[in-house]
């Protein structure tokens, strides 16, 4: 605690969901250790008196070591860890290199493991909470986003196992499963649209990618909605194990219980519809 404020470490705090979480928690009486990789982001975070910016790449062992040292020096404890840092990319799985797949897992799973393992003694002492930023892609595997879905499915399994191991020792593990959220991640995704132009699946992959980006930019919820949920998770006496943050929660809940064969048919129908719309748009522009 700092001046009796609950202390929380947020990874990936430079923009989007991570920045919204940092700002919301700090404005609601928590002290936030905000991890970011870029100097510009760290300088911006430092302007908030309730925020201690930390140079933190969750794949860098030295950064993680220094993060723990700084937290131990500046606070008498750590109540929360929000594992928000993550990267997302897509593409036809039969064209994605093992190097690209491994790079994604390095951040979305192995990075989560490294930082969680490092600060766990502090969380254990505080009987604190570990919040995992999963996704709707952690339970609904969409075609042509296989790399990202795979990493989030892995995170869900990791989180379930961890929760069942450490709950008896007083530390809670909670999964957050956002749907579409309007963040800069959609701009970053545009660079992958032409990456697999020579693929057997190029037409479908590009159409789905463009559709996802367009929807993410225009129909996504504000990152503030996720931040509010994180605050609830950190302050509720008995938080739920999972929180879906989406406008269409019922649809997502149905995806969890419908037979896989039926979900497969829905996914195929969606791909066909999106490809048809993409063709129509191209023809209309000619």
Active site residue 148: yes
Report the C-alpha gap between 148 and 89 in whole angstroms: 6
- Rounded-to-integer distance, Cα 268 and Cα 238, Å: 39
Token output for 18? 């991570």
Complete edge-to-edge strand list for the sheet that includes strand 51-55:
51-55, 31-36, 7-10, 80-83, 129-133, 172-178, 242-245
Burial (CB count <10 Å: 0-12, 13-18, 19+), residue 268: exposed
Cα–Cα distance for residue pair 230/175, rounded to 1 Å: 10
Closest CA to 61 of 99, 11, 111, 18: 111
Catalytic position from the list 24, 148, 158, 196: 148
Cα separation of the two ends of the chain: 62
Strands 7-10, 129-133: pairing is unpaired
| Residue 61 · residue 175 · CB < 8 Å | no
How far, rounded to the nearest angstrom, does the alpha carbon of residue 160 sit from its chain's CA centroid? 16
Please list the active-site residues.
Answer: 148
């Amino acid at each position: 605690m700092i001046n009796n404020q609950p202390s929380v470490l947020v990874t990936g705090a430079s923009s989007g969901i991570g920045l919204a979480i940092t700002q919301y928690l700090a404005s609601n009486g928590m002290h936030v250790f905000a991890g970011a990789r870029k100097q510009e982001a760290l300088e911006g975070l430092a302007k908030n008196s309730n925020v201690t910016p930390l140079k933190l790449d969750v794949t860098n062992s030295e950064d993680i070591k220094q993060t723990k040292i700084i937290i131990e020096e500046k606070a008498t404890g750590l109540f929360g860890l929000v594992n928000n840092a993550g990267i997302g990319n897509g593409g036809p799985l039969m064209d994605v290199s093992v190097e690209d797949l491994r790079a994604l897992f390095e951040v979305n799973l192995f990075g989560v493991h490294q930082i969680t393992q490092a600060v766990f003694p502090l969380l254990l002492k505080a009987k604190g909470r570990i919040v995992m930023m999963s996704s709707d892609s952690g339970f609904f595997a969409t075609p042509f986003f296989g790399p990202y879905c795979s990493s989030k499915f892995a995170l869900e399994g990791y989180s379930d196992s961890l929760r069942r191991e450490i709950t008896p020792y007083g530390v809670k593990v909670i999964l957050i499963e956002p749907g579409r959220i309007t963040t800069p991640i959609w701009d970053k995704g545009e660079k992958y649209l032409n990456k697999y132009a020579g693929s057997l699946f190029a037409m479908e992959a590009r159409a789905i990618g463009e559709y996802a980006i367009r929807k993410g930019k225009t129909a996504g919820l504000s990152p503030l909605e996720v931040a509010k949920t994180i605050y609830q998770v950190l302050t509720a006496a008995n938080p739920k194990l999972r929180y879906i943050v989406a406008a269409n929660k019922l649809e997502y809940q149905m995806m969890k219980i419908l037979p896989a064969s039926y979900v497969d048919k829905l996914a195929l129908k969606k791909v066909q519809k999106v490809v048809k719309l993409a063709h129509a748009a191209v023809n209309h522009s000619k």
